[in-house]
Homo-oligomer: A and B are copies of this chain.
Amino acid sequence: MNNGRVEVLDGVNGGRLFNSVEAFLFDCDGVIWKGDKLIDGVSETLHFLRSQGKTLVFVTNNSSKSRRQYAAKFLSLGISVSEDEIFSSSFAAAMYLKSIELSTDKKVYVVGGEGIVEELHLAGFTSLGGPEDAKRMIEIKDNPYVEHDKDVAAVVVGFDPYINFYKLQYATLCIRENPGCLFIATNRDAVGNMTDLQEWPGAGCMVAAVCGSTQKEPIVVGKPSTFMMDFLLKKFNIDTSKMCMVGDRLDTDILFGQSAGCKTLLVLSGVTTLSTLKDPANNILPDFYTDKVSDMLQLLAP
Give the distance in Å from the alpha carbon of A191 to the alpha carbon of B175 in the complex: 13
8 A Cβ contacts from A142-192 to B: 143-146, 160-165, 168-169, 172-173, 176, 188, 190-191
Q: Which residues on the B side are within 8 Å of A209 (C-beta)?
A: 163, 201, 205-206, 208-209, 212
Q: Are A163 and B164 in contact, CB atoms less than 8 angstroms apart?
A: yes
A17 within 8 A of B: no
Give the distance in Å from the alpha carbon of A194 to the alpha carbon of B141 in the complex: 9
Give the distance in Å from the alpha carbon of A202 to the alpha carbon of B190 in the complex: 21
Q: Are B165 and A163 in contact, CB atoms less than 8 angstroms apart?
A: yes
Q: Are B161 and A162 in contact, CB atoms less than 8 angstroms apart?
A: no
Give the distance in Å from the alpha carbon of A137 to the alpha carbon of B137 in the complex: 12
In whole Å, how far is A274's beta carbon from the nearest beta carbon of chain B?
A: 18
Q: Are A165 and B197 in contact, CB atoms less than 8 angstroms apart?
A: no
Q: Which residues on the B side are within 8 Å of A38 (C-beta)?
A: none
In whole Å, how far is A129's beta carbon from the nearest beta carbon of chain B?
A: 15
Give the distance in Å from the alpha carbon of A190 to the alpha carbon of B213 in the complex: 4
8 A Cβ contacts from A246-284 to B: none
Partner of A212, one of B138, B139, B197, B204: B204
Q: Are A145 and B208 in contact, CB atoms less than 8 angstroms apart?
A: no
A215 within 8 A of B: yes
Which residue of chain B has its CB nearest to the CB of A144? B195
Q: Are B208 and A211 in contact, CB atoms less than 8 angstroms apart?
A: yes
Give the distance in Å from the alpha carbon of A202 to the alpha carbon of B210 in the complex: 11
A237 within 8 A of B: no
Q: Which residues on the B side are within 8 Å of A137 (C-beta)?
A: 162
Q: Are A195 and B143 in contact, CB atoms less than 8 angstroms apart?
A: yes
Q: Are B172 and A161 in contact, CB atoms less than 8 angstroms apart?
A: no
Q: Are A188 and B163 in contact, CB atoms less than 8 angstroms apart?
A: no
Known: A137-B162, A206-B212, A208-B209; 18 extra A-B contacts, CB below 8 A, are A64-B140, A139-B161, A140-B194, A140-B195, A145-B198, A163-B163, A163-B164, A163-B165, A165-B201, A172-B205, A173-B198, A176-B191, A190-B215, A191-B213, A201-B209, A205-B212, A208-B212, A209-B209
15 contacts between A and B (CB under 8 A): A35-B143, A139-B161, A140-B161, A144-B197, A163-B165, A165-B201, A168-B205, A172-B200, A190-B212, A190-B214, A191-B213, A201-B209, A206-B212, A208-B209, A209-B209
Q: Which 3 A-B pairs have the closest CB atoms?
A: A208-B212, A201-B213, A209-B209
